[in-house]
Chains A and B, each alone.
Chain A
Amino acid sequence: MPDLAQVLAAQVPLSWYLILSVILFVIGAAGFLIRRNIITVFMCIELMLNAVNLSFIAFSHKLKMVDGHIYSFFVMVVAAAEAAVGLAIILTVFKNRETLEIDEVSSLKL
């Protein structure tokens, strides 16, 4: 049983952050593959983007460089633009087909 003060003073290894990032990314990818609701699939993509952002920031902390923060800032901007356009596409798909099942919109034509 380690001492309480020792636990409180201990620092997190960098690899834990990277492993957490991998776990979140894989969960997002699994959801992307097995879910069929088009909105949930879209949210899984956002989860994968977030997981990658975490590893960018972890590496930025390791290298003591600001570039990782800038990269994840751009990822956030692109994600916001992607969410706006993607949700507009989902609205249009629902208006035309009355369904959100991703298997039923697998062909691009009506």
Chain B
Amino acid sequence: MDVLLFLIFAGIAVGCALNLVLQTHPISSALSLIGVMGSLAVLYLLLGGEFLAAVQLIVYAGAIMVLFVFVIMLLNAGAEKRPSKKVLRTAVALPLLFTLAGVVAYILATQAGRTETVKFGAYVVGPYEIGKALFTTWLLPFEVTSILILIAILGAVVLARKEI
């Protein structure tokens, strides 16, 4: 069952990611990205990350993507009209990237070992474990994050003002 669920949702994730890159219209790309994030949430659940699966759906697929779709609608962004002029960049980048993927995947497949399997339910991280770690070991990074968010709010407000 694990293998079937993994294959189904990994397939959805890769398909949606390819669709994200290949579509010319930003709205189609945004909807594909929501598909990627939803299927990744299921994979997090298979890996025992209950809390992160919920956060992935609420924060990523919910809040962040609504912001993206909102901006696309606001700017009335249309499809890309002409193909890119930077043919050389594409011709160099794509083979290098696929080589990277192939090499890393080969190393992982040979080194990580086939005996190392993911057993569903063997290690579950719920809100209790996350909260305990956040407020003991990771307390300082957690507090610094609140300052980061404050700066982000100020930055967004300043940038979105009329006079700039």
Partner among B2, B17, B52, B80 whose Cβ is within 8 Å of the Cβ of A57: B52
Contact A70 B130 (CB under 8 A): yes
Contact A57 B47 (CB under 8 A): yes
Contact B13 A81 (CB under 8 A): no
Q: Within 8 Å CB of A83, what residues of B? A: 64, 67-68
Contact B21 A66 (CB under 8 A): no
Residues in B64-122 with C-beta less than 8 Å from chain A: 64, 67-68, 71-72, 74-75, 77, 80, 84-86, 89-90, 93-94, 97-98, 100-101, 104-105, 108-109, 112-114, 116-120, 122
Given known contacts A10-B3, A47-B17, A33 and B89 CB-to-CB distance under 8 angstroms:
yes
A contacts, CB < 8 Å to B: 7-20, 22-24, 26-31, 33-37, 39-40, 42-44, 46-47, 50, 53-54, 57-58, 60-62, 64, 66-67, 69-70, 72-74, 76-85, 87-92, 94-96, 100-101, 103
Q: Report how far A67 CA is from B125 CA in the complex, Å.
A: 10
Residues in B13-27 with C-beta less than 8 Å from chain A: 13-14, 17-18, 20-21, 24, 26
B contacts, CB < 8 Å to A: 1-4, 6, 10, 13-14, 17-18, 20-21, 24, 26, 29-30, 33, 36-37, 40, 43-44, 46-49, 51-52, 55-56, 59-60, 63-64, 67-68, 71-72, 74-75, 77, 80, 84-86, 89-90, 93-94, 97-98, 100-101, 104-105, 108-109, 112-114, 116-120, 122-123, 125, 129-130, 133-134, 137-138, 141, 145, 148-149, 151-153, 155-156, 159-160, 164
| Chain B, residue nearest A35 (CB) | B21
Contact A84 B105 (CB under 8 A): no
The smallest C-beta distance from A102 to any residue of chain B, in angstroms, reads 10
Contact A50 B37 (CB under 8 A): yes
Q: Report how far A40 CA is from B123 CA in the complex, Å.
A: 36
| Chain B, residue nearest A87 (CB) | B71
| Chain A, residue nearest B89 (CB) | A33
Q: Within 8 Å CB of A42, what residues of B? A: 68
Q: Report how far A27 CA is from B112 CA in the complex, Å.
A: 22
Contact A15 B3 (CB under 8 A): no
Q: Within 8 Å CB of B100, what residues of A? A: 26
| Chain A, residue nearest B157 (CB) | A88
